[in-house]
Amino acid sequence: MHLHLDCSLSFAVVQQINPLVDYETYQRSFVGPVKCTGLADFLARTTHGIGLMQTKAELRLVTLDLFQQLKADNVIYAEIRFAPLLHLQKGLTSETVVQTVNEATSEGMATTGVEAGIILCTLRHFEEAQSMETVRLVEQFRGTNVVGFDIASDEAGFPVDQHVKAFDFAKEHALNITAHAGEARGAESVWETLRRFHPTRIGHGVRSMEDPRLMEYLKKAGIHLEVCPTSNVQTNVVDRIENHPADKIYRSGVSMSISTDARTISNTCLAHEYHAMQEMFGWEKADFFKCNLEAVEHAFISEQKKATLRETIMAAYQSK
């Protein structure tokens, strides 16, 4: 449910695009340390992947590479997000960027059997016009693999004001909305995001635990939290994985699911995230099953596709 395309380049695809990058350089430049100094330090590491995603050929290779990773990770559905306006350095238009990733997503689904949707992101430091350009792309590509609109990047460093118009547009046009919040800032960031952007999902949102009233609201309103444990430890939202609030959020009854965020920067996969929840909090099959069903319920897909995914998940859990 929460997966960044430009933060998930494997060594194989990096070397395919730029053979001069050896494994040591890849580990140093593309993979973050176990502990960054904070979210801003973490985000600074995205530039290496973005730099290799500036042509149609590069965008296609990176997208197809991610599908191979997802297949190896036994993922059956993913929502892949990225900011189209970050990929214009070599002359592509934002429309061409989205079209390229959209077509590569269709190709990836056909070759791997992994189903996926695309979420287009604006960024906190963008101007209003850039957010409007991004949300209009979501509307333009409605009915393709593009399924939703998001805002990402440093919530602590930039206000929401210049993005309200874009989210109003999304709401007026009945576009699916998720938004990063409750990561670099506390519960007040989640409240602000809910009031100004009207999302049905929150990316991360783990600091909602700081406000019991907010937790009750999330539960009552059916807001889904896209929780990424390893990423939150890496960005110092949480000091250690055993202190991560994911289990408390889950036990509170707030809808949530477990995701990877940035597979490469965090050196993780979904299996690793699940193992951490099992090892640290004693999660059992029923807990993962519930979170999987919550993810399906809040996925930006049709009811027909949700029904198919539920059947697949139920059959898999019953067979184990």
Q: Kindly list the distances between the CA atom of residue 239 and the CA atoms of 36, 177, 230, 244, 251, in Å, as whole numbers in the listed order.
A: 11, 29, 11, 8, 21
Q: pLDDT tens, 254-300?
A: 999 999 999 999 999 999 999 999 999 999 999 999 999 999 999 99
Closest CA to 143 of 107, 188, 171, 106: 106
Q: Which structural domain range is residue 176 located in?
A: 3-319
Of the candidates 58, 183, 273, 294, the residue annotated as catalytic is 183
Q: Three-state DSSP class for 122?
A: strand
- Structure confidence at residue 301 (pLDDT): 97
pLDDT value at 153 more than 90: no
Q: CATH code at 152? A: 3.20.20.140
Residue 183 annotated as catalytic:
yes
CA dihedral 183, 262, 133, 155 (to 10 degrees): 20
pLDDT-derived band at 39 (thresholds 50, 70, 90) equals confident
Q: What pLDDT, on the 0 to 100 scale, is given for residue 273?
A: 98
Return the DSSP state at 107: H
pLDDT at 158: 80
pLDDT at 43: 80
Q: How many helices (H) and strands (E) does the chain have?
A: 15, 8
Can you give the pTM of this predicted structure? 0.96
Residue with tokens 């960031």: 189
Q: How far apart are CA 240 and CA 164, in angstroms?
A: 34
Percent of the chain with pLDDT over 90: 92
Q: What is the mean pLDDT of residues 90-105?
A: 98
- CA-CA distance, 138 to 195, in Å (whole number)? 21
**Total domain count, the chain:** 1
- Span 167-191, mean pLDDT? 96
